[in-house]
Structure 1
């Protein structure tokens, strides 16, 4: 017997629900989610592969899905992460519209008529749950709000794998229906149902979802483009600052005394140790470049940086040209934060240990007395308050 309520036939009366609307929305979402998934995996490759405590897939020359993130063009990470965060927001209204269009399918009876159908419905359950999880945690991360207790990076990565696997199964199963909708041109046919005039058409649903997507895009994209448009990013937590700061010196536990007259940058290459004061660094040949810096939350900004090329520091340390480096920053009352750079990243022409920005000394919040700036790398690798650089030291723990 069929249970009462929403399990009864005819309980859901909207005439626009059905394969046509679902197929159109699914086609839109397939393109959008492909962009989000691709840029997300690229962001992981650029952002986290060697950071201690966050490595998921070991960076191995024999592993085909990892590589050293390039340093050119300089806006590469700003573009990929800007697409990831902004297209991710655009996806939300279309996901809600598609869930509305298939909502009655949750109450089909019996729930599965065969093992094959049971597997299909399980894949849909995984797809829906992983989609909600990815979007919810992604938005929370972009807003610097962490109500969850797990590691966002690791959870978001594995959630993406579940999502992509479930999506692949769903596309394979549903693609014949979608192709039939377009082949028969059903998407342009008028609604012909036994019910009276609907309150909204299929085009209206798609337009409504599109308007919501456009609203979210306009309220956030300014932080990715930067400049005067940053103030239009009403949904972004960093819209009021032309040069955003993710973590202030106070939050990181950095005090003026820790970076005062006694500050020294330590360079290590094997048994060789070189110490440089900030005055020593300023006496070295200086390089100036206008470079963007972008963060995983989606914001980016372009500033003029001045400092010592990392390749010059590598030579000064006595390291070889194929050396990598582990950069250590003094944070949180003596706890070292670390990020690694490859040989190619070290050797990039504009890669530098920045001492000034826009002609002025770095502020304490922006990394005084010295911070790393490498073109096209995510902000997490542009280490602030640099205390030590260990060349050829293993970066993973």
Structure 2
């Protein structure tokens, strides 16, 4: 007697090793890019200075190296890929899960040691993927309803996912290759709904024993999933690429709070949120520069009297948005000269902001010495607005946005 207990939703004639393998191949290409760019973001935060989160990761720490300043759009590219491609792959992840749903609920769940390993890898893979997607999307929305530190959870969740992904890939790649060779992709694209037939029964249980008639062809299913991924791309990539697509980036609302005139670009953290008061930024403000024989205090008028440099640089945020603006200010290496600092290994920048996870940042010597690394006083030919860091902010090529410190109070050049 035929078992109809699975219902029509689990008896689709489309399910089978071939369709699952097509989705798997796309993810096998795309997910490593998301993984690598995510880990690069952690390195870009400077874990060697204790400013990456989480700080203490034990033996899972990544190799430390000085994050480069060239090309200037490096972090814009890596983080844009991490967030943008991660979102684009969500429909494909869901389609892949749909294609293997019957297998997730087989009983008994484990029949051999090899199957036990496979099931464990599935738990890490599926659970890790869903956790990373959900927490990542909530972080983009600035909605921390989960009650724990996003950075810490996302980092550890990533390693759980990576373990499951690598293990599952090793176990399933041979089957994926055989399945993809079992039928012609071109032939599938030519097959109509009326001519769509189930795949041959397989030992993995993906093919339904009593499939229902096809309501969509495999060509249609691929188009539906691909169209969903394309729609997500249109609704997200504009926050990284800019241009006419920026207005369509509805899935990345962070950075949609703008200023006025020349300061009309993304604001991630306002002066009000940072509790910056008018008294802190009035004419009595002084930049403290330390590291030489004697500390130096510089007013805005003194900074303006120094040689200035103007450069167009991107500023990119961990949530995926970025923008390119024209900045004018004093080179950081010139400030080191004014302070009488001839040799240093890093520079600690401190903000007027009293609290917050990123109210200070440590820059490497290479970042400080870069000819385009500035203490910016103007943007797009106008004074910085208070929300964009007035009276002065840091702008360094390829640096994560949160380390381009706003409302700078002091810079301390440190020995190597």
1:126 aligns with 2:124: yes
1:22 aligns with 2:20: yes
1:192 aligns with 2:197: yes
CA drift at 1:320: 2.8
1:242-296: CA deviation from partner (whole Å, max 9, x where unpaired)? 5100010000000111111111111111663111111111111111111111111
1:342-364: CA deviation from partner (whole Å, max 9, x where unpaired)? 00000001001000111111100
Distance 2:97 2:170 in 1: 19
Q: 1:311 pairs with 308, 329, 333, which one?
A: 333
Distance 2:405 2:89 in 1: 32
Decide whether the 8 Å contact of 2:344 with 2:413 is kept in 1. no
1:326-384: CA deviation from partner (whole Å, max 9, x where unpaired)? 10001147998211100000000100100011111110000000000001111111000
- Relative to structure 1, the CA distance from residue 11 to residue 329 in structure 2 (aligned partners, 3 Å threshold; closer, same or farther) is closer
CA drift at 1:156: 1.1
Q: 2:157 pairs with 131, 156, 159, which one?
A: 159
- Relative to structure 1, the CA distance from residue 159 to residue 55 in structure 2 (aligned partners, 3 Å threshold; closer, same or farther) is closer
Distance 1:368 1:290 in 2: 18
> Match of 1:34?
32
Tell me the secondary structure at the aligned position of residue 243 of structure 1.
coil
Q: Which TM-score applies when normalising by structure 1?
A: 0.91
Q: 1:297 pairs with 319, 342, 353, which one?
A: 319
Q: Number of residues paired by the alignment? A: 387
Q: 2:300 pairs with 278, 288, 304, which one?
A: 278
Higher mean C-alpha displacement, 196-205 vs 306-315: 196-205
> Match of 1:70?
68
Decide whether the 8 Å contact of 1:97 with 1:205 is kept in 2. no
CA drift at 1:169: 0.4
> Match of 1:104?
102
> Match of 1:206?
222
1:46 aligns with 2:40: no
Q: Which TM-score applies when normalising by structure 2?
A: 0.87
Tell me the secondary structure at the aligned position of residue 175 of structure 1.
helix
Residue segments in structure 1 that go unaligned for 5+ positions in a row: none
Residue segments in structure 2 that go unaligned for 5+ positions in a row: 199-209, 259-263
Decide whether the 8 Å contact of 1:326 with 1:393 is kept in 2. no
1:82-133: CA deviation from partner (whole Å, max 9, x where unpaired)? 1111101111100110100000002212211112211210110111000001
Alpha-carbon RMSD across the aligned residues, in angstroms, is 2.5
Decide whether the 8 Å contact of 2:37 with 2:81 is kept in 1. yes
CA drift at 1:53: 7.1
- Relative to structure 1, the CA distance from residue 11 to residue 364 in structure 2 (aligned partners, 3 Å threshold; closer, same or farther) is closer
Tell me the secondary structure at the aligned position of residue 288 of structure 2.
strand
CA drift at 1:144: 1.3
Decide whether the 8 Å contact of 1:223 with 1:233 is kept in 2. yes
- Relative to structure 1, the CA distance from residue 296 to residue 99 in structure 2 (aligned partners, 3 Å threshold; closer, same or farther) is same
Tell me the secondary structure at the aligned position of residue 302 of structure 1.
strand
